[in-house]
A = this chain, B = another copy of it.
Amino acid sequence: MTSPRSYVIIGGVAGGMSAATRLRRLDESARITVVERGEHVSFANCGLPYHVGGVIDDRDALILQTPESLAARFALDVRVRTEALSVDRDARTVAVRDLRTGEETSLTYDALILSPGASPVRIPIPGVERGLVLRDLADMDAIIAAARDARRAVVAGGGFIGLELAENLVHAGLDVTVVEMLPQLMRPLDPEMAQLVTDHLRAHGVTVLLGAALRAITESGVELDNTAELGDGAEQLPADLVVLSVGVRPESTLAAEAGLDLDPRGYIVVDEHQRTSDARIYAVGDAVVKQRADGPASPVWLAGLANRHGRLAADAIAGRPHAAVPALGTAVIGLFGLTAATVGRTERELREEGCELRVIHTHPSDHAGYYPGASALALKLVVDARTDAILGAQAIGGGADKRIDIIATAMAGGIPARGLADLELAYAPQYASAKDPVNMLGYIDDNLLDGEDSVQWHELDARLAEGWRLVDVRTEQEHADGAIPGAELMPLDALREHAASLRDEHVIVHCKVGQRGHTAASLLRQYGVTVANLDGGYTTWRSGTASRSLAPQPA
């Protein structure tokens, strides 16, 4: 019998703990040691913002496992408040220090798994030490304590964690301002989609300042640059609480000092079995750069991938390797009841890379309109124009998480955009429509493949400048309620009367969301009109142009 093997895992949350418990199930005899710098392992980091707002009432609910429970069930040696100091790759040892006693010891390993995570960035501005961040339970406790006596909060950073915190600080009774340096919130969304999130936050009382940068944190609040929206001279924003949520940096110092390969941004490079440049050292989670589907490798800070890769690292160590699949970056956020979800890559990124795209927006109800409670869903699909491959999707509104999960699965299965029309999705009127919103994307793609010309909201001005006419095929009432400047009204149900008069013209038709526009375009084409349909209709155009007040226009 061989002597028991020794495994050391650095970082006891998400990927690290998935690896540790999986290793135990595969190898009952191994010595498995988990080293965690913080107070807790296996805590619910994705739940932290919700305890700030009282949505999750019980703090203990966030602590999923303890060193004791993990020892009992999985015979793990879990050492919290213990920091890994250095790795000796030749000796295969890790030097660690107990942060409570200062005692240093050395752990031998047959395989080492790094799951150090990423830490919130502290930007180099005066007073930055006054800002709070949110990574662990101690951070959360500090925010809750600060919020208790606070009236006004500034959250710097309009990404996932920043916005979840903004909502929860509102729930905690504070006036909240989100300050985002970019001209939009939520970079994984394109601007016309992000605009819906901005509108929703503002409707729930959050002040959103886009294109605004923190210059300093003072005793009384923050000082800002580029605050056009605040009006003349208003560069001071009073705040009793400032949270910095402006990005993360990988905790890869240990890996760097051990001489492991890092990417230019400092993320640990691994192969498809999570192996670093040292065959006995694996790495998982937020400190690792991921292979991406349809794009260059990049960090993806998602719990699902961390867990998955933790298991795969354990499998590889135990001699049953399965390769990781490239990451899609599927993500979702809920904000004041609005769901925003995304998968894959954005139109903005892909156009910057010069990709030839088909882009589809649709605005269906999340379920049959005749059944009570239907809510609006904005759905966007980004397609490779040459191959019909789905490159990305974004959804905002009712059932957005479901639709993005379906599309993520279609992408994983290599289903082309047109194939979305053939998906058989569960239908009853309270759940979907007989043609599900995802099916509709496939139908629209099919129309485009069939030669229908569509125009994106950000392409409209250029077409009009070329002399195309713009025809609104909605009803008189809809037109009166709000119209695109220059649009001529020709309601769809009377369009046949106008068709002959448009022969040989170049016409862009639009309706509210694109569906009547498609019917109008099909009709006019057969009367000899050169016709294009405004993708997503008035609805997409309106949010797109609203986003443009600050956003640079996509190329």
Interface residues of A (CB under 8 A from B): 14, 21, 24-29, 44, 46-47, 50, 55-57, 61-62, 64, 69, 72-75, 302-308, 311, 320, 322, 324-325, 327-334, 339, 341-343, 368-372, 401-402, 404-406, 408-410, 412-415, 419, 421-432, 434-436, 439, 443, 446, 450, 492-493, 496, 518-519, 522-523, 526-527
Known: A44-B429, A402-B402, A439-B304. A370 touches B62 (CB 8 A): yes
Could you pull out 27 A-B pairs where Cβ atoms are within 8 angstroms? Answer: A14-B434, A25-B522, A28-B526, A44-B429, A47-B370, A50-B429, A55-B371, A55-B372, A56-B372, A74-B519, A308-B422, A311-B443, A331-B426, A331-B428, A332-B426, A334-B430, A401-B426, A401-B432, A402-B402, A405-B405, A405-B406, A405-B426, A408-B424, A409-B413, A412-B419, A412-B422, A413-B413
Q: Which residue of B lies closest to A320 (CB)?
A: B450
In the complex, which residues of chain B have a beta carbon less than 8 angstroms from the beta carbon of A526? 27-29
Bound Cα distance A477, B526 (Å)? 74
Closest-by-CB residue of B relative to A399 is B402
In the assembled complex, which residues on chain B have CB atoms less than 8 Å from the CB atom of A401? 402, 426, 431-432
Q: Most chain-B CB neighbours within 10 Å: which of A26, A328, A427, A493?
A: A427
B302 and A427 contact, CB distance less than 8 A: yes
Question: What residues on B are CB-neighbors of A302 within 8 Å?
Answer: 424, 427
Please give me the residue from chain B that is nearest to A400 by CB atom.
B426
A330 contacts which chain B residues (CB < 8 A)? 424-427
Output the nearest chain B residue to A519 by Cβ-Cβ distance.
B25
Task: Tell which of B56, B72, B410 touches A370, judged by Cβ atoms closer than 8 Å.
Answer: B56
Closest B residue, CB atoms, query A160 = B428
Chain B residues contacting A341 (CB-CB under 8 Å) are 426
- Between A327, A370, A439, A492, the greatest number of chain B beta carbons within 10 A of the residue's beta carbon is seen for A370
Check B427–A371 contact: CB distance below 8 A. no
With A334-B431, A429-B50 as known contacts, state yes or no: A325 contacts B518, CB within 8 Å.
no
The oligomer's copy count stands at: 2
A285 to chain B, nearest CB (A): 12
Q: Within the complex, which residue of B342, B410, B527 is in contact with A409, where a contact is CB–CB below 8 Å?
A: B410
**Contact among B329, B426, B493 for A404, CB-based, below 8 A:** B426
Instruction: Please state if B304 and A436 are interface contacts (CB–CB under 8 Å).
Output: yes
A73 to B55, CA, bound (A): 49
6 A-B pairs closest in CB distance: A413-B413, A332-B426, A28-B526, A25-B522, A303-B434, A72-B493
Task: Check B409–A304 contact: CB distance below 8 A.
Answer: no
A75 x B334 contact (CB < 8 A): no
User: Which residues of B sit under 8 angstroms from A324, Cβ to Cβ?
Assistant: 422
**Contact: B73 with A493, CB < 8 Å?**
yes
Question: 19 additional contacts, CB 8 Å, given A47-B371, A413-B415?
Answer: A44-B370, A55-B371, A57-B372, A307-B435, A311-B443, A324-B422, A329-B424, A332-B427, A332-B431, A333-B428, A341-B426, A343-B426, A401-B426, A405-B405, A408-B423, A409-B410, A412-B422, A413-B413, A413-B414
Complex formed: what's the CA distance from A178 to B526 in Å? 54
User: In the complex, which of the residues A44, A72, A412 has the most CB atoms of chain B within 10 Å of its own CB atom?
Assistant: A412
CB <8 Å contact, B425 and A405? yes
Our pick among B25, B47, B74, B423 for the contact of A429 (Cβ within 8 Å) is B47
The residues of B that contact A56 with a CB separation of less than 8 Å are 370-372
Residue of B nearest to A425 (CB): B405
**What's the Cα separation between A405 and B436 when bound, in Å?**
11
A311 / chain B contacts, CB cutoff of 8 Å: 443
Name the residue of chain B whose CB is nearest to the CB of A28.
Answer: B526
A406 to B406 CA separation, bound complex (whole angstroms): 5
Chain B residue at minimum C-beta to C-beta distance from A75 = B496
Chain B residues with Cβ under 8 A from A26's Cβ?
Answer: 522
Given contacts A47-B371, A371-B47, contact A412 B424 (CB under 8 A): yes
Specify which chain B residues have a CB less than 8 angstroms from the CB of A408 in the assembled complex. Answer: 423-426
Chain B residues with CB under 8 Å of A343's CB are 424, 426
Chain B: CB-nearest residue to A14: B434
**Cβ contacts under 8 Å, A14 to chain B:** 434
